[in-house]
Amino acid sequence: MGQMPLSAVIFYSIPEEIILFSFGVTIVGEYINFKIIFISSIITAFISMLLRACVPFGLHSIIGILVLFILFWKLLNIKPWKAIIASLFSVIVLLFLETIISPIILNAQNITLEELWKDTFKRIYLGYPTLFVYASITWFLYSKQKFLIKGTRVSNNVENEYNSANLFVTLIILFQGVFLAVINQHLDYLGKYSFAIKLLCVIFFISSVFFLNEYMVVMDKKKAQNRDKT
């Protein structure tokens, strides 16, 4: 995969990472700290630039998730188990949106993905619709206090325990989503558009959101019942 131009890093990657970190913080119920998110975004964007130049396509996404996890954990001070979920879920949402929006834009512009990557200007501004949708979703969830996991935005006394079984179930679902999304991106990169994979990504993402949301609700109820018994 080719080197990402510096202009694309500044005008696209950094804004993308800002939204991604903001979304991750939002879904685990924490407050957005724009200063730390901005610093984390700069770090991630430049690491991503190096990965795209040196690491095979697809693998760079996996390493990128690890980088996100570390920054969510160490810089944003989110508990490790929540940092894992925040990093995985935020990447899944981004890839999901790209899966839906990018083909529409490419068809409208009558260009291929390979041609897009060769044109830095188009590479930047044609990616903005995806970022706009992602930012809008993040703003809506944050402003309405919608989250997957309760955090300090609910209460400073929120129970932050998450047993290994719950974490295992959540990670299996999220890793499957990342795997599907990476396969989809790889097929697009090879010029082998796959409607079946895109449809599978959409179905998987929507169903996993509903499942995880219900799963968290059930777990919260069980915790409440156990507290009442004691």
| Residue 181 contacts residue 95 (beta carbons within 8 Å) | yes
Q: pTM, whole model, 2 decimals?
A: 0.80
What's the rounded Cα separation, in Å, for the pair 176 and 124? Answer: 29
- Encode the chain (230 residues) as per-residue pLDDT tens digits: 557 788 999 999 999 999 999 999 998 889 999 999 999 999 999 998 888 878 776 677 778 888 998 999 999 999 887 888 888 888 888 878 887 888 889 888 888 777 887 888 888 999 999 999 999 999 999 999 888 777 777 665 555 555 566 666 677 777 776 776 667 666 665 566 666 766 776 677 677 777 776 776 777 677 667 766 66
| Residue 62 contacts residue 182 (beta carbons within 8 Å) | yes
Radius of gyration for the alpha carbons in the chain, expressed in angstroms and rounded = 18
Q: Which of 5, 2, 20 is nearest to 131 (CA)?
A: 20
Which burial class, exposed, middle or buried, applies to 57 when counting CB atoms under 10 A from its CB (0-12, 13-18, 19+)?
middle
Quote the crossing angle between the two packed helices 59-74 and 164-189, to the nearest 10°.
140
